[in-house]
Amino acid sequence: MDMMIMNSVILMMTNSAGWLSAVLGARVVGGVLSSLVAGVVADRFSRKKLMVCSDVLRGASLVFLLLHPQPTMFLIISFCLGFFSSFFQVSFSAELPLLFKGETSLQINSLVTRLSSISMVVGFVGSGLLSSVVSYRFILALDAASFFVCALALIVILGARDVQTTSRQQGKPNLLTALNGWLIDLKEVKTFLSAQLILLIILSVSFVQTFGASSHNVGIPMLAVKLDPQHATFYQGIIWGIWGCGNILATMIIPKMKTVKSRLEHFFFYVSLLMSLSFILLFSSTNLLFIMPLAFVTGAVDGSVGILFSTILQNTENAIRGRVFGVSALINRLGFAVGFLVTPMLIKAVSLSKMVLIMHGTVMLSIIAALLLIYFSTVLRKKLLTLSA
């Protein structure tokens, strides 16, 4: 809710794609600065407490925005939301396998994505409908309240499970000890990823994917304005809502596909190609009868990519899982940051549809390059094994 409303309000306040990109980019920069720290902290301390604190601080940030709704404050609060969100998302993703020990990672991520998609549909469509009858301040206040309610829910539901994540937390370290431990933790995750070629390639592809994703994050509010300038928030909510319905469908199909479990990486690359193609087609028209079905399809493939990506990362060991998700969060936010810098420049030079084509076309090329790299590295490995035998 806060993302859509803040995007719409800043666009109405300034009538500038540059301001919109700046607000989106500020959220990303906040996430970039906190991602690696969040990963290390999530492996050392209580992940539950990190989630609770993140929710409280995000809710408080929105309350502060309500008191000072100026363009500059939108930038500051977007930064804060991005900064605190990393701590929540990294802790949440790393803790899931421990909370659902009887289920596979694919089933867990499908369930989480389904619930998230349902809430997105309610949030986006609800925001779109509410925006026509109440002020944006009311919607932001409602969203702030939801963070506080979630923090309370976490305290109640996970209270009995508030245990130390690992045995690595020892006493109250001083600043020098903490910094040294942080550097050691980062070195460990660097060594781990260096030995995991396919995982490293997948993380690299996710960087380019988030670079491409900045185009439709900026593009959908602008597309909604093209459809109807007077009711842009409504149409933006409808597009994102239908996209969320596609997400829900993906969560129902992916866990039932037996071949997916044994070929997670392959499906990740193939579905990622389809996702970028779908976004390119979505922005190729301003006809609602064309846009709405494409939004549904795009949501389905985008949801599938998210499920597969999270499952691949959650298959890592618990002791290092938080830092792997921290690296993932850093890479993703860097991709968004670069994308939000490039997007407004492209918008000035080309049309909206061509901008999306360039951005997501880059994603498709990177995936093809990744598949070729994996193929040739596999062939080379087999030849070396044959020669050594």
pLDDT tens digit string along 193-211? 777 788 888 888 989 998 8
What pLDDT sits at residue 363? 92
Contact indicator for 89, 50 with CB cutoff of 8 Å: no
pLDDT at residue 172 is higher than 50: no
pLDDT at residue 124 is higher than 70: no
When comparing pLDDT for 120 and 251, which is higher? 251
pLDDT tens digit string along 29-62? 888 788 767 777 777 777 788 889 999 999 999 9
- Greatest mean pLDDT among 68-72, 76-80, 133-137, 246-250 lies in 76-80
pLDDT > 90: percent of the chain: 11
pLDDT tens digit string along 279-303? 999 888 888 888 889 989 998 998 8
The 3-class secondary structure across the chain, one letter per residue, is CHHHHHHHHHHHHHCCHHHHHHHHHHHHHHHHHHHHHHHHHHHHCCHHHHHHHHHHHHHHHHHHHHHCCCHHHHHHHHHHHHHHHHHHHHHHHHHHHHHCCCCCHHHHHHHHHHHHHHHHHHHHHHHHHHCCCCCHHHHHHHHHHHHHHHHHHHHHHCHHHCCCCCCCCCCCCCHHHHHHHHHHHHHHHHHHHHCCHHHHHHHHHHHHHHHHHHHHHHHHHHHHHHHCHHHHHHHHHHHHHHHHHHHHHHHHHHHHCHHHHHCHHHHHHHHHHHHHHHHHHHCCCCCHHHHHHHHHHHHHHHHHHHHHHHHHHHCCCHHHHHHHHHHHHHHHHHHHHHHHHHHHHHHHHCCHHHHHHHHHHHHHHHHHHHHHHHHHHHHHHHHHHHHHC
pLDDT tens digit string along 63-90? 988 888 888 888 899 899 988 888 888 8
- Look at residues 274, 370, 334 and name the one whose alpha carbon lies nearest to residue 25: 334
When comparing pLDDT for 131 and 60, which is higher? 60
The rounded mean pLDDT for the chain is 80
Q: What integer is the mean pLDDT of 358-362?
A: 92
pTM: 0.69
What pLDDT sits at residue 127? 66
> Residue 369 burial (CB < 10 Å; 0-12/13-18/19+)?
middle
- Look at residues 2, 125, 12, 149 and name the one whose alpha carbon lies nearest to residue 62: 2
Contact indicator for 295, 242 with CB cutoff of 8 Å: yes
- Look at residues 323, 198, 213, 320 and name the one whose alpha carbon lies nearest to residue 269: 198
pLDDT at residue 105 is higher than 80: no
Reported as a pLDDT band with limits 50, 70 and 90, residue 357 is very high
pLDDT at residue 238 is higher than 90: no
What pLDDT sits at residue 18? 78
When comparing pLDDT for 384 and 175, which is higher? 384
pLDDT at residue 218 is higher than 50: yes
Q: What integer is the mean pLDDT of 233-257?
A: 81
pLDDT > 70: percent of the chain: 88
